[in-house]
């Protein structure tokens, strides 16, 4: 397997970086020791900084958060 970037860790930062790279045509692979189910079902970020939230909104990744946050 060949890739341009290897990302260590499938937490919020690693997955966001992988998404940004993919949108820009850069091949990457995320290496995570836990199972896919574990990563997707577990909260791994206690706090998201304002800049991270703005980035996710800009990329269209925050729609689910916004929908759940509004009454």
Per-residue pLDDT 10s for the chain (71 aa) are 789 999 999 888 888 899 999 999 999 999 999 988 887 787 766 677 888 888 889 988 888 877 877 66
DSSP state of 57: H
Write down the pLDDT at residue 30: 94
DSSP string computed for 1-18: ---SEEEE--SHHHHHHH
Write down the pLDDT at residue 26: 96
This prediction has a pTM of 0.71
Write down the pLDDT at residue 44: 67
């Amino acid at each position: 397997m060949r890739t341009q970037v290897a990302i260590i860790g499938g937490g919020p930062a690693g997955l966001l970086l992988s998404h940004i790279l993919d949108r820009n045509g850069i091949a990457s692979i995320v290496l995570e020791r836990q199972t896919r189910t574990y990563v997707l079902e577990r909260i791994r970020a206690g706090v998201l900084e304002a800049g991270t939230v703005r980035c996710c909104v800009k990329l269209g990744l925050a729609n689910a958060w916004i929908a759940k946050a509004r009454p």
